[in-house]
Copies of this chain bind each other. A is one copy, B any other.
Amino acid sequence: MSRATSYDVATAAGVAQSTVSRCFRADSTISAETRTKVLQVAEQLGYVPNAMARSLITRRSNMVAVIATRFTMRGNPDLIYALGESLSAAGKSLLLVTVENDWPTSDALRGALEYPLDGLISCAMLAEAEIRSFLRRGVSLLFYNRSVSLPRIDCVKTDNATAAADVARRLHAAGHRRLLCVAGPPDAPVSQERIAGFMAGLAACGVAPPDVLHADYAYAGGRAAFLAHLATAPRPDAVFCANDQLALGVLDACRFDLGLDVPADISVVGFDDVPEGARPTYELTTLRQNSVEMARMAIELLLRRMQDPALPARRLIVPATLVARASARLA
C-alpha cells in the first residue's frame, strides 16, 4: 500500500540500492543491461524516486514558489499558466502561494515557504526582513511587477510610469482638460506607479493633478466608484484607469448608466490589455503588458540567478505598448 523505495527495487532486482539510484540519474556508469532490468522492476513495483529524499542530499529542491495575489491572477489570466510551462520545461516544479492582497503577512506565507526553495517569484510585496531571510537561505528571488532595491534581487516589470505618462500627454494633446483617475487599492504598488506616471505626464503639460478614485481592481468596483463620484462631481472628459477591469467598469457606466457616447463625450483608457477589452463590444484603448512574454523572461532570469547567485541585480523594464482602439480620442 505504501510507496516502494529504492531498497525494495534493489532487493527485487538483486542489486544494491546505490545501483538503483544510479539508474535514475543520467549517470553513465551503469551497463545498459542492468539499467533495463532495474527500470523494469521499478515499473512493476510502481517505484518513483522520492524527490524529497533526493532534495535533502542534493540540496536542491527543484521547487520554485510563485506568490500571486487574487488580482494578479484575475488581471493576468495567462501569467500563472505561462510560468508553469516555463518552469516545467526547465525541470522545476511550481509551488503556488495565493495571497489576498499586495502586502501579505508573514503567516500567510510561512507554511509553503518551509520547503527549501530554489527560487521564488513574487507578485506581492515582502517585508525586507523576509527578503533577507530568503537570501540568507540561498533562495533566488525575483519580483514580478514590483521594484525592490536590494542587491542580488532581479525584477521584471512593465514600465508603468512611462506608459501612463505618455497616455496623459496624448489625452492632453487631444484636448482633454477635465481628467480623472480610477486607481486600484491605495496600497497596490502597480496601481500607484501607473497613477503616479499619469500625474507626472500631466504635470509635464502644466496640468494640476486630477482627482483619484480608489476601487478594488475589479469591474464592479470601477463602475460603482465612478458612478458614486459623478453623483457629486462634474463629469470628466477623460478617465485613466489603473487596469482594464476598472476601465471596463467605467466604460459600461458611461454607456449603460449615463448614456454617454464613448469617446465623443468621454475617453476611457485602461492598462494591461486583457482579452475582453479587444472585443468589438468594448474596443478598449489600453496599454499592453505582455504577461506571457514577461513570464518567460522572468523564468529565464531566475534560472540564471540560480546558477550564479552572485550576479548583480538585474532589472528588466518592459515597455508597455499603446493599443489605440475606439474608447479614447488620442493625439
Q: Which residues of A contact B (CB under 8 A)?
A: 1-4, 46, 48-56, 61-62, 66, 68, 70, 73-74, 77-78, 80-81, 84-85, 88, 91-98, 108, 111-116, 132-133, 136-138, 219, 248, 252, 255-256, 275-276, 279-282
Contacts and interface: CB of A to CB of B under 8 A. Distances in A.
13 contacts: A2-B137, A3-B137, A46-B132, A50-B114, A52-B55, A52-B56, A66-B96, A80-B80, A84-B96, A88-B97, A93-B97, A248-B279, A276-B276
Q: Please give the count of copies of this chain that the complex contains.
A: 2
**Which residue of A80, A81, A137 has the most chain B CB atoms within 10 A of its CB atom?**
A81
A2 B52 contact: no
A138 B2 contact: yes
B85 A137 contact: no
Given A56-B56, A93-B112, A73 B62 contact: no
Contacts of A248: 279
A280 B66 CA distance: 35
Contact of A96 (B52, B74, B94, B280): B94
Given A98-B84, A133-B46, A114 B219 contact: no
Given A52-B55, A93-B112, 13 more contacts: A2-B137, A46-B133, A49-B114, A51-B114, A62-B111, A74-B78, A80-B98, A81-B98, A94-B97, A94-B112, A96-B96, A252-B280, A252-B281
A98 B108 contact: no
Nearest to A129: B46
B136 A46 contact: yes
